[in-house]
């Protein structure tokens, strides 16, 4: 496909219905609307890495601060049109036979990208037609893969969440829809395109989707490639090269893997993403992350990271015996600062922190969850939520927490600790 996006737009306006022109028309229309609706997001994407890094440092905010759900949504909302930075494919990728798309599959992809928003929001009729086009492309099987690959290689994205009526399409984004189509198509051709996309994209949510899909198709086979991708993208984010993007989905991938390699990677990320990394370590199954949390909690120079590590150890203390035993031993040896006991009490019976978006976020009409708190941390663009322990605790969970608090009290901690623990115990139903 020849020419710039603007020249393709001109040709599209002149009425040429080739695939590339259709894509450019849809992207141009959405880009114009996105810029008008969200100029700050557009400006963030256009600024240089150095300016982004300086802005991040100037607005550094590593303390836990609650924001409203609406503020969180605004902080994490990407514009409708996204053209993120790309990554060169690693030399380890084996060459893939380049089968050219058919005219028909190119036409189907063009229909998916050429969304006409000139008459207002996406209508049900438009959405139904779009979904039928996606289904038709998927039904082409392996023959549809080259056309999907051709678009994915253009490194362009449409965020349906930022488009009025976009929820009717029942897909989070254009690229996600095409990746889901590859999953349904299956086979070595589709897997090859997904692996190639994993190793070249910088979109955190897309990496998480690809990691999940590849793991389902071949458990464990592509974890090395995924972890390498995550490390590379997080290094770019740390340098300010991905302004506006929330890297939380990458931490969720590492947490879901739950192996020793993931724990080691997360421990190295605590300096830059204190909350994401620490919560992910606490969420690793089979207490894989507890040793790293203990090292953080035992670091006398840890400051706020040390306090949050203690809080997350308390949150999983009755789930993982190693975490509970470590807290008891530290209490007996008087190794926990008085100021930290308030955090520990919160971890035991108060706010329970979770990665991702609240369960009610998927349904804008759902009533707010009782006790829900949402948080945005400017440093590292970290976004997460908490719910009260009592919101989901079973009678057995409550009994275990009560017994553990009694064990801590029996360890003869300081008066400040006793006050915090007794307050936590009184909050239990």
pLDDT (tens digit per residue) in 315-369? 999 999 999 999 999 999 999 999 999 999 999 999 999 998 888 766 667 787 8
Whether residues 419 and 314 fall in one domain:
yes
- 197-211, 241-255, 274-288, 368-382: range with lowest mean pLDDT: 368-382
Whether residues 208 and 257 fall in one domain:
no
For 287-303, give one letter per residue: b (16+ CB within 10 A) or e: bbbbebbbebbeeeebe
| Distance of alpha carbon 244 from alpha carbon 42, whole angstroms | 9
Whether residues 267 and 391 fall in one domain:
yes
For 232-251, give one letter per residue: b (16+ CB within 10 A) or e: ebbebbbebbbbbbbbbbbb
pLDDT of residue 362: 62
75 domain residue, yes or no: no
Give me the number of domains the chain comprises.
2
pLDDT by residue (tens digit) across 260-288?
A: 889 999 999 998 999 999 999 999 999 99
| Distance of alpha carbon 259 from alpha carbon 284, whole angstroms | 8
Whether residues 155 and 209 fall in one domain:
yes
Of the three residues 175, 207, 242, the one that is the final residue of a domain is: 242
pLDDT at 17 exceeding the cut of 90: no
Nearest partner of 151 among 210, 92, 83, judged by Cα: 83
80 domain residue, yes or no: no
pLDDT of residue 59: 39
Res. 49 pLDDT band, cuts 50 70 90: very low
Whether residues 382 and 363 fall in one domain:
yes
pLDDT of residue 418: 96
| Distance of alpha carbon 379 from alpha carbon 274, whole angstroms | 9
17 domain residue, yes or no: no
pLDDT of residue 144: 97
| Distance of alpha carbon 210 from alpha carbon 308, whole angstroms | 31
282 domain residue, yes or no: yes
Whether residues 130 and 203 fall in one domain:
yes
Res. 72 pLDDT band, cuts 50 70 90: confident
pLDDT of residue 77: 84
Half-sphere exposure at residue 327, Cβ-oriented, CA atoms within 13 angstroms: 35
Whether residues 141 and 263 fall in one domain:
no
| Distance of alpha carbon 141 from alpha carbon 136, whole angstroms | 9
Q: In terms of residues, how long is the chain?
A: 429
Whether residues 350 and 403 fall in one domain:
yes
Whether residues 94 and 147 fall in one domain:
yes
Of the three residues 209, 242, 275, the one that is the final residue of a domain is: 242
341 domain residue, yes or no: yes
| Distance of alpha carbon 337 from alpha carbon 89, whole angstroms | 49
303 domain residue, yes or no: yes
Whether residues 156 and 264 fall in one domain:
no
40 domain residue, yes or no: no
* Domain limits for position 359: 246-429
Whether residues 273 and 224 fall in one domain:
no
For 194-220, give one letter per residue: b (16+ CB within 10 A) or e: bbbbbbbbbbbbbbbbbbbbbbeeeee
Res. 29 pLDDT band, cuts 50 70 90: very low
pLDDT of residue 258: 87
pLDDT of residue 43: 36
Q: What mean pLDDT is predicted for residues 24-41?
A: 42
Burial of 58 (0-12, 13-18, 19+ CB in 10 A): exposed
Q: Which residues pair with 355 in a beta bridge?
A: 384
19 domain residue, yes or no: no
- 55-64, 98-107, 410-419: range with lowest mean pLDDT: 55-64
pLDDT by residue (tens digit) across 164-196?
A: 999 999 999 999 999 999 999 999 999 999 999
Of the three residues 211, 227, 242, the one that is the final residue of a domain is: 242
pLDDT of residue 96: 59
Whether residues 225 and 268 fall in one domain:
no
pLDDT at 3 exceeding the cut of 50: no
The helix (H) or strand (E) run that includes residue 182 is helix 174-185
39 vs 85, residue with greater confidence: 85
Whether residue 293 contacts residue 323, with contact meaning beta carbons closer than 8 Å, is answered with yes
pLDDT at 119 exceeding the cut of 50: yes
């Amino acid at each position: 496909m020849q020419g710039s996006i603007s020249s393709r737009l001109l040709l599209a306006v002149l009425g040429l219905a080739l695939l590339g022109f259709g894509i450019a028309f849809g992207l141009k229309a959405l880009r114009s609307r996105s810029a008008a609706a969200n100029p700050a997001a557009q400006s963030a994407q256009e600024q240089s890495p150095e300016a982004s890094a300086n802005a991040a440092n100037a607005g550094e905010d590593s303390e836990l601060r609650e924001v409203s759900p609406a503020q969180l949504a605004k902080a994490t909302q990407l514009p409708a049109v996204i053209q993120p930075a790309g990554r060169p494919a690693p030399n380890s990728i084996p060459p893939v036979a380049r089968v050219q798309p058919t005219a028909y599959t190119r036409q189907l992809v063009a229909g998916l990208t050429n969304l006409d928003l000139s008459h207002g929001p996406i209508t049900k009729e438009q959405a139904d037609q779009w979904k039928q086009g996606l289904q038709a492309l998927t039904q082409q099987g392996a023959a549809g893969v080259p056309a999907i690959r051709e678009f994915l290689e253009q490194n362009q994205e449409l965020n349906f969440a930022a488009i009025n009526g976009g929820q009717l399409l029942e897909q989070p984004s254009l690229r996600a829809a095409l990746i889901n189509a590859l999953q349904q198509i299956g086979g070595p051709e589709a897997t090859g395109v997904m692996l190639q996309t994993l190793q070249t994209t910088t979109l955190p949510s897309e990496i998480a989707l690809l990691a999940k899909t590849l793991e389902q198709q071949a458990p464990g086979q592509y974890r090395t490639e995924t972890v390498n991708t995550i490390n590379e993208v997080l290094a770019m984010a740390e340098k300010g090269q991905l302004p506006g993007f929330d890297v939380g989905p990458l931490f969720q991938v590492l947490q879901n893997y739950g192996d020793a390699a993931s724990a080691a990677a997360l421990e190295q990320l605590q300096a830059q993403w204190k909350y994401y990394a620490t919560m992910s370590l606490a969420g690793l199954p089979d207490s894989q992350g507890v040793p790293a949390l203990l090292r953080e909690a035992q670091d006398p120079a840890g400051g706020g990271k040390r306090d949050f590590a203690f809080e997350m150890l308390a949150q999983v203390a009755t789930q993982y015996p190693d975490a509970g035993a470590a807290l008891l031993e530290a209490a007996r040896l008087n190794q926990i600062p008085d100021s930290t006991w308030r955090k520990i009490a919160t971890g035991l019976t108060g706010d329970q922190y979770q990665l991702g978006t609240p369960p009610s976020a998927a349904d804008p009409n759902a009533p707010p969850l009782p006790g829900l708190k949402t948080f945005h941390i400017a440093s590292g663009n970290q976004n997460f939520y908490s719910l009260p322990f009592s919101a989901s605790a079973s009678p057995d969970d409550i009994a275990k927490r009560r017994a553990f608090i009694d064990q801590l009290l029996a360890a003869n901690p300081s008066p400040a600790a006793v006050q915090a623990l007794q307050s936590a115990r009184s909050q239990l139903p």
